[in-house]
Amino acid sequence: MKKIGVLTSGGDAPGMNAAIRAVVRKAIFNNIEVYGIKNGFQGLIEGNIEKMDIGSVGDIIQRGGTILHSARCKEFKTDEGQNKGIEQMKKHGIEGLIVIGGDGSFRGAVKLTEKGYPCIGIPGTIDNDIAGTDFTIGFDTALNTVIEAIDKVRDTASSHERTFIIEVMGRNAGDLALWAGLADGAESILIPEKKDELHDVVERLKRGQERGKKHSIIVLAEGVDNGFNYAEKIKETADLETRVTVLGHLQRGGSPTASDRVLASRLGAEAVDLLLDGKAGKIAGIQNNQLVNHDISEILQKKHTIDLNMYQLSKELSI
Ligand code: ATP
């Protein structure tokens, strides 16, 4: 293999730039040419492709977002769209592709691999919702952003003796809420994988009030409910007032943490090694701090599992 491509697709995540840098530098180190494809699969279809060199990934390791930009592209879900992408790869002599993104992006990578163009996936999403890897690139940064925000909300919660519901991202996964809730000592954590009954949440709030607690934090994963709906339910059930903070897109931004930069560097370099070893349709991941790879098609059929021991611990520590 002499020429490879790299793209970022789906939602952006802090650390994607560090992964791009690792792919480009590791490839050049191995005398492989690297082409950057802008705007994900949309850019592949349109031929928005540029050769990258060592300098084109300089000064990006610390930056959030993705210098290659990202997009969602419906056309790529069709045979016609995929064939257009393959035409562009042929035109540029690109023999293999590294796709940094979430599960949707990996479905695109599987399609290209099935059509004879080997792809390797790198999990880049703040949701930490990909099976076969303990962590995805961007999760740690988003987690730290959430914690910083909750710490600030806690100041006002305690000054005004209020209960706050903090709605955090994660799509259908509860990792961000669980880790943030545990790290921030939240009174209740609501995750899609383990639905807490409303009466239990209310009981915990009341118990806290009875023992003189001045404020409470409820961390709510977006996959469970919308913060305002949940506040309404608490009001209807127990006549308790809560305030709602929806953290929104600020969770996707910012300079990646050391952990995310290191993870992105390791996975980026590993993805190049896998391509050079003749592997195709694989996802590079990390499990027990060891680099691993799995078939993407297998991973797409599995659900990322959340650590329910951590959930139990959070309950025990916030009695
Ligand atoms: P995030 O988890 O951040 O949303 P994602 O990679 O799951 O990231 P999606 O929007 O689901 O984001 O997918 C990104 C892109 O991957 C889509 O816009 C589309 O171009 C491509 N894609 C998704 N599903 C398929 C599929 N079944 N076949 C081919 N391409 C697909």
Task: Classify residue 308: in a domain, yes or no.
Answer: no
Residues catalogued as catalytic: 127
Same domain membership, residue 181 and residue 51:
no
- Structural domain boundaries, residue 84: 3-138+256-301
Same domain membership, residue 281 and residue 190:
no
Q: Where are the beta strands (DSSP E) in 114-200?
A: 119-123, 163-168, 188-190
Task: Classify residue 317: in a domain, yes or no.
Answer: no
Cα separation, 267 vs 132, whole angstroms? 13
Query: Quick one: which of 57, 52, 72, 47 has its CA closest to 16?
Result: 57
pLDDT over 80 at 214, yes or no: no
Task: Classify residue 47: in a domain, yes or no.
Answer: yes
Task: Classify residue 316: in a domain, yes or no.
Answer: no
Same domain membership, residue 101 and residue 185:
no
Per-residue pLDDT band for 215 (boundaries 50, 70, 90) equals: confident
The pLDDT tens digits for 28-84 are: 999 999 999 999 999 999 999 999 999 999 999 999 999 999 999 999 999 999 999
Same domain membership, residue 249 and residue 226:
yes
Query: Quick one: tokens of 258?
Result: 């050391």
Residue 121 pairs with which residues in a beta bridge?
99, 283
The pLDDT tens digits for 87-130 are: 999 999 999 999 999 999 999 999 999 999 999 999 999 999 99
CATH number of the domain bearing residue 248: 3.40.50.460
Same domain membership, residue 265 and residue 243:
no
Q: Residue 61 to residues 120, 220, 238, 258: CA-CA distances in angstroms? A: 21, 31, 49, 10
Q: Is 266 known to sit in a ligand binding site? A: no
Distance 127 CA to ligand 1 centre (A): 14
Same domain membership, residue 275 and residue 126:
yes
- Residue 48's Cβ-side half-sphere holds a number of Cα atoms within 13 Å equal to 16
**Mutation to probe ligand 1, out of 72, 111, 125, 172 (largest number of atoms < 8 A from CB):** 72
* For the chain, percent of residues with pLDDT exceeding 70: 100
The pLDDT tens digits for 135-174 are: 999 999 999 999 999 999 998 887 877 899 999 999 999 9
Same domain membership, residue 236 and residue 209:
yes
pTM of the model: 0.96
Q: Is 204 known to sit in a ligand binding site? A: no
